[in-house]
Structure 1
Amino acid sequence: MSVEKPAIAVKGLAFQYPDTEEKVLKNINFTLNNGEILGIIGPTGAGKSTLAMCLNGLIPQIIPGEIEGEIIVKGIDVSQSTVSDMSEHVGFVFQEPENQLSQMTIEEEIAFGMGNLGVPREEMEDRIIDALRQVGLSGFEKRSPLALSGGQQQRLAIAAVMAMRPTIMIMDEPTSMLDPKGKNEVYGVLRNLKEYGMTGIIIDHEVERIATYCDKILVLNEGEIQLFGTPEEVFTNIEFLHRLKLNGPQVTEFIYKYNQLFDRQLKLPTSLEEAVTVFEKESI
């Protein structure tokens, strides 16, 4: 019986930008299974975006530097593949969607990336309809991307990548410029990725949402992995997170402080629903 290969396997990854004295990534090792969503958190300058750009070959093929280790994505050695070839497997959504949007209409925006991949026009039409449905923008085909809200623009950027049919989607701080409504819209799309069987990676500071939507959490600090595991395994390690100047979800922090104030040892929850259950048991 064959064992399914992981979506991403990183072994001994290190990277140093030119003209810098220290490596920005040091001995990075982790695997992510197909269909899992990974949340990457860490302080500013921890190396989160650098790690993301290593996974699709942007580093070091477009952004130069010295790289060590091995990155295998969908069974492909990234170092032996071009960025354009990797784009068929790994989609990348950046922090500011307007930097990715360049066409006059939404349907032209989504068609642009597919055209670069040589997708037939008849198939493009089906993919445009499907991608817009997945991100909740059906009926917007003829609108200008510039007429959209920030959350809608980010969803359009995601749709344009999804239409290229990668099996892995990387989103680098896609909600940092958005209001709460826009953030909820983007995380709603993240949920849809999982339902479609796609593997996802999201870099964000929104720990409440990260805890809710992600299967695994990777904590980076000064280029090194500090924690890697399920949301429960990572976010209940509150004291360690605090030493890294990071916080857990608000509900986790609340129960942590409650335990300190009242000398209790309640299980630390990572969601409001779990907190309600914890307090129900406390009141019995």
Structure 2
Amino acid sequence: LIPHFYNGELKGEITVAGLKVDEHPTYELACHVGMVFQNPENQLFALSVEKDVAFGLENLGLPREEIRKRVDWAMKITGIYELRERAPYELSGGQQQRVAIASILAMQPQVMVLDEPTSFLDPLGAKQIFDVIYRLNRELGITVILVEHRLDLAASYATRVIVMSNGKIVMDGPPRKILSSEKAKLIGIGIPKATRLYQILKNDGIPLRGNKTPITPQETAELIVEALSDD
């Protein structure tokens, strides 16, 4: 988006898939990196789901058969194929977000950037979106960069966490290392509830075993069950 959409001073060099961003148009860069916005309504405007998913491909001038193939594939991967004839404005927030993801997925990017895709969703809708994102990464090999404040949920899926403060990277590492560190508390990162519960129980003298601090509800539950079984 910089410098093609947002004006600003660009220093140094930024490359996307080996392409310098200031020397190539947005549509060319978008073939390599796709972006899903925080509010899905900002990128949905067609009269049906399948037309929304096909929009980017049509702008690339791809053959009709190829467009049909990619659209059906993207809708099936994201679980919205049965909604293909529905109008996007009739869908729930979670369904709309999956349509937005499918529209980017159909472009077959190497990297997908998602800006807080669950901020408007309830816990169930948020988990469904994370399940889709997980599948894109683990099964399709797409690199996923996720801007997210729901660390309780993100910790279960992420392989790397980068913490930024005032535009600078202050922490970078595996989720468990980041979320269980003292520095995370000092800079105000919201520690997952499962981790906080583990720390409270340990401080109260509950003999929880394990060499690693749990960061997911399942991990904490397993330690508690083990402690109760020993009693």
Aligned equivalents of 1:141 and 1:102: distance in 2? 14
The structure 2 residue matched to 1:197, chosen from 132, 141, 147, is: 141
My pick for the range that moved more, 220-229 or 75-84, is 75-84
Q: Structure 1, residues 205-247: CA drift from partner, whole Å, max 9, x if none?
A: 110221111111111111111111111111111x322222222
**Is residue 2:88 matched to residue 1:166?**
no
The structural deviation recorded for 1:153 is: 0.4
Instruction: Tell whether the 8 Å contact from 1:100 to 1:157 is kept in structure 2 after alignment.
Output: yes
Aligned equivalents of 1:68 and 1:243: distance in 2? 32
**Is residue 2:175 matched to residue 1:227?**
no
The structural deviation recorded for 1:68 is: 2.6
Aligned equivalents of 1:70 and 1:281: distance in 2? 54
TM-score by length of 2: 0.90
Q: 1:157 maps to what in 2?
A: 100
Instruction: Tell whether the 8 Å contact from 1:88 to 1:165 is kept in structure 2 after alignment.
Output: yes
Q: Structure 1, residues 11-55: CA drift from partner, whole Å, max 9, x if none?
A: xxxxxxxxxxxxxxxxxxxxxxxxxxxxxxxxxxxxxxxxxxxxx
Q: 1:176 maps to what in 2?
A: 119
Aligned residues: 226
Amino acid in structure 2 at the alignment position of 1:202: L
Q: 2:2 maps to what in 1?
A: 59
**Is residue 2:216 matched to residue 1:271?**
yes
Q: 1:112 maps to what in 2?
A: 55
Aligned equivalents of 1:206 and 1:214: distance in 2? 12
Instruction: Tell whether the 8 Å contact from 1:131 to 1:163 is kept in structure 2 after alignment.
Output: yes
The structural deviation recorded for 1:277 is: 4.4
The structure with higher relative contact order (CA 8 Å, sep 6+) is 1
Aligned-partner SS, 1:125: helix
Q: Structure 1, residues 66-90: CA drift from partner, whole Å, max 9, x if none?
A: 2334433323333432221110000
Aligned equivalents of 2:11 and 2:227: distance in 1? 50
Q: 2:158 maps to what in 1?
A: 214
Aligned equivalents of 1:257 and 1:65: distance in 2? 46
Q: Which has the higher strand share?
A: 1
Aligned pair in 2 of structure 1 residues 243, 109: CA closer, same or farther (>3 Å)?
same
Aligned pair in 2 of structure 1 residues 110, 263: CA closer, same or farther (>3 Å)?
closer
Q: 1:141 maps to what in 2?
A: 84
Instruction: Tell whether the 8 Å contact from 2:208 to 2:223 is kept in structure 1 after alignment.
Output: no
CA RMSD of aligned residues (A): 2.0
Amino acid in structure 1 at the alignment position of 2:87: S
Alignment of 1:239-258 (within 5 A): 239-258=182-201
Aligned-partner SS, 1:139: helix
TM-score by length of 1: 0.74
Aligned pair in 2 of structure 1 residues 174, 241: CA closer, same or farther (>3 Å)?
same
Aligned equivalents of 1:198 and 1:249: distance in 2? 26
Aligned equivalents of 1:193 and 1:166: distance in 2? 11
Amino acid in structure 2 at the alignment position of 1:256: Q
My pick for the range that moved more, 87-96 or 201-210, is 201-210
Aligned-partner SS, 1:248: coil
Amino acid in structure 2 at the alignment position of 1:176: S
Structure 2: any 5+ residue segments left out of the alignment?
A: none
Aligned equivalents of 1:282 and 1:69: distance in 2? 57
Instruction: Tell whether the 8 Å contact from 2:162 to 2:172 is kept in structure 1 after alignment.
Output: yes
The structural deviation recorded for 1:282 is: 9.0
